Amino acid sequence: MDVRKVISEDITILAEFAASINKEKEHRIAYLGTDYNSVLEYFIEMQEDEQSNIFVLSEGGKLIGVVGADCCLDNNSIEMVGPFIDKNFTQDQESDVKACMKALVETVITEYPYFRYCFFLGSSNRLAEECLRDMGAEYRGSDYVMELLSEDFRPSLNGKPIFYEDSYKEAIIKLHDSVFPGTYYNGCTLIQMSEEEEYRILLEVKDDKTVGYIFYNVADPYIEFLGVDKDYRNQGIASSLLSRAIAEMLHDNAAEDLTLCVSADNKSAITLYQKVGFKINEENHSYLL
């Protein structure tokens, strides 16, 4: 079998391949969607990113597997978009599939030594979990994907959130990094991303202090982070930020639903999201190698 980096002509075929496999719960990679167009867009962005790469595994010209290495230099980490393996290429399915997964992961490690390799798997993706554990990966916990249907939205009208301005830069970085230490986007990355048209940061100020914020995507409605200073929790700040962001996303996009990801251990956040109408849709597992 051969492993190589993709070329531009590969992208449409790979997007169709990955989207098809990702629709199956037992092969789900949670970093990626299941819709062909969204997968294609993601792969094109990775292909154009000088730091990132996509690797293809093939045998005799037949596509066997693919993995994306989405590189973040800010925190020296790689988001492993995959591995996706065609389960029908072999009779001895499980052992061969895991061997192919390992080959793709090891290719990324060789290309990017001394990085942290982050995996985000659907809870039913047993083969990938077994492969990673065999390689010595550390289980880092479970997350829920929660979904809100527009007709279920129950907003909170407390608080007066304001939009981010440059004068709040240091405060937002400090707050984000204290609430979410070591997460996949640090505070500096958050600020950089907020300069892009589709991203927004709303924040709450009390006693001349930035005490809460929410970071979200209005173009592809998605809530990325919601954080509140520990000394100001249980005051309705999170509900206010969440409600204002949801209202904007639903209105601007005429969206029928929204999704977010939350740690399964974060019972207070789950309760908050359920209070405004979110319901648990799926569970995913994080691993670090």
Number of domains in the chain: 2
Nearest CA to 246 out of 276, 272, 275 is that of: 276
Give residue 220's domain range.
147-283
Q: Same structural domain for residues 115 and 229?
A: no
For residue 228, what is the domain's CATH number? 3.40.630.30
The single residue listed with the structure tokens 């554990």 is 133
- Tell whether 183 is covered by a domain: yes
Does the structure show a pLDDT above 70 at 91?
no
User: What average pLDDT does the segment 175-192 reach?
Assistant: 91
Amino acid at 283: E
Amino acid at 242: L
Q: Same structural domain for residues 108 and 164?
A: no
Q: Same structural domain for residues 120 and 156?
A: no
Contact 117, 80 (CB under 8 A): yes
Give Cα separations from 188 to 6, 18, 126, 169 (angstroms): 30, 31, 35, 9
pLDDT band at 113 (very low <50, low <70, confident <90, very high): very high
Q: Calculate what percentage of the chain has a pLDDT beyond 70.
A: 99
Q: Same structural domain for residues 129 and 163?
A: no
- Kindly report the pTM of this predicted structure: 0.75
Contact 187, 177 (CB under 8 A): yes
Q: Which residues contact 167 (CB under 8 A, 6 or more apart)?
A: none
116-122 vs 209-217, strand pairing mode: unpaired
Helix (DSSP H) and strand (DSSP E) numbers for the chain: 8, 12
Does the structure show a pLDDT above 90 at 188?
yes
pLDDT band at 90 (very low <50, low <70, confident <90, very high): low
**Is 151 buried (19+), middle (13-18) or exposed (0-12) by CB count in 10 A?**
exposed
Q: What is the pLDDT of residues 132-153, one digit of tens each?
A: 999 999 999 999 999 999 999 9
- Tell whether 141 is covered by a domain: no
Cα(211)–Cα(227) distance, integer angstroms = 8
